Amino acid sequence: MKMTFRWYGDNDPVPLAYIRQIPGMYGIVSAIYDVPVGDVWPLDKIRALKEKVEAHGLKLEVIESVPVHEDIKLGKATRDALIANYGQTLRNLAACEVKVVCYNFMPVFDWTRTSLEMRLPDGSTTLAFDADAIEALDVSKGIALPGWDTSYRPDELKALLHEYETLDESELWANLEYFLRAIVPIAKDCGIRMAMHPDDPPRSIFGLPRIVKNRDDLERLLSVVDDPANGLTLCSGSLGADPRNDIPALVREFGARGRIHFAHLRNVRTNAEGDFYETSHRSADGSLDMAEIVKAYFEIRFEGYARPDHGRMIWGETGRAGYGLFDRALGAVYLNGLWEGLEKANRA
């Protein structure tokens, strides 16, 4: 298992030099953030990012994410040109020795939370989701979600949501299948493995369809193009927000088939109403048995990439909520410690 760390480029308050000092750290997961969605990522920008990361003794072999344009998700007439651009971006990434590309197919909104600063009993703050609070929001009057990056002006968002009003899950599936059948052969040809991230949270929000929520959705996704180039980012925190999802079982099933290319390791505390908040990675702190999840990866001889996903904000750290240095560094060391313990026990 190759341990990696998410880094948001020069605007990230966490220096690469600090990440390099985390024991057992293999590489950086990043992206090009100043290219509009749908445009080709220039080769020179990718090379510059790679050189910057490698100058600190780290690898850049995973990209998270290459966003999928909304016109592709909606199945609009412009999608073929946008898919062609996406394919050229993959070729440019492959030329810089990128091995895995994480992406998602969530309409309009990426990961969604109702609080970025829920205070825990120990004084740390964390990301949280309240299902009732989401249902009470009227998105037609604008977005007031914490962390929402105002990607769209109010009028643009309203128009986009209107376009999705007539799109159901079956149509979104059809548009995903169209995308995969076009893009996976390109990825395979240039040696990249696509790694779909599940919906976060794994439920419909604002009436928008969500189609990557559980075991059956993952199976359907992989069956569209049954090839290792069409794989998964298995996010324990996203799927684990639904208590019906058995994360160790998913790891064993899909990992044994070689279809998990990227592991997001995060713990959450959930309830039956669909609310959750993010905890430390430690099994005792959340609803997920992280030790059992890591054991499942060990059993299937996982050699892919992993990262400690979102962390709490601890020790007075400020910055991008969920992406501070301290708690994610603790998570990386904890996860590597679990792995080392399994290796030693296996040799005994």
Catalytic residue among 217, 305, 310, 334: 310
Which pairs count as long-range contacts for 112-117, CB under 8 Å and 24+ apart, including other chains? 112/145, 112/200, 112/201, 112/205, 113/145, 113/146, 113/147, 114/145, 114/146, 115/146, 115/277, 116/146, 116/147, 116/321, 116/322, 117/146, 117/313, 117/321
Average pLDDT value over all residues in the chain: 94
- Has 281 been annotated as catalytic? no
The residue with greater pLDDT, 52 or 145, is 52
pLDDT for 288: 98
- Has 162 been annotated as catalytic? no
Strands (E), the chain: 2-6, 27-30, 59-64, 100-103, 115-119, 125-129, 193-196, 230-235, 260-265, 268-270, 276-278, 305-308
| Residue 200 pLDDT > 80 | yes
Question: pLDDT digit string (tens) for 220-234?
Answer: 999 999 999 999 999
pLDDT for 293: 98
- pLDDT (mean) for 156-177: 92
pLDDT band at residue 146 using 50, 70 and 90 as cut-offs = low
- Bridge partners of 2? 305
- pLDDT (mean) for 107-123: 92
- Has 309 been annotated as catalytic? yes
| Residue 40 pLDDT > 60 | yes
Question: pLDDT digit string (tens) for 75-109?
Answer: 999 999 999 999 999 999 999 999 999 999 999 98
Catalytic residue among 164, 323, 327, 334: 323
Catalytic residue among 197, 199, 277, 305: 197
- Has 323 been annotated as catalytic? yes
The CA-atom distances, in angstroms, between 69 and each of 33, 155, 267 are 14, 18, 29
pLDDT band at residue 144 using 50, 70 and 90 as cut-offs = low
Catalytic residue among 103, 309, 327, 334: 309
Catalytic residue among 69, 96, 235, 281: 235
pLDDT for 110: 86
| Residue 149 pLDDT > 60 | no
pLDDT for 141: 67
- Has 261 been annotated as catalytic? no
Query: Residue 218 is encoded by which pair of tokens?
Result: 């993952």
- Bridge partners of 197? none
pLDDT for 221: 98
Query: Residue 202 is encoded by which pair of tokens?
Result: 């794994």
pTM of this structure: 0.95
Question: pLDDT digit string (tens) for 300-347?
Answer: 999 999 999 999 999 999 999 999 999 999 999 999 999 999 999 999
The whole-angstrom separation of Cα 172 and Cα 339 is 38
- pLDDT (mean) for 33-50: 97
Question: pLDDT digit string (tens) for 331-340?
Answer: 999 999 999 9
Catalytic residue among 264, 275, 277, 334: 264
Q: Determine contact, residues 98/84, Cβ cutoff 8 Å.
A: no
- Has 197 been annotated as catalytic? yes
Domains and CATH numbers, the chain: 2-347 (3.20.20.150)
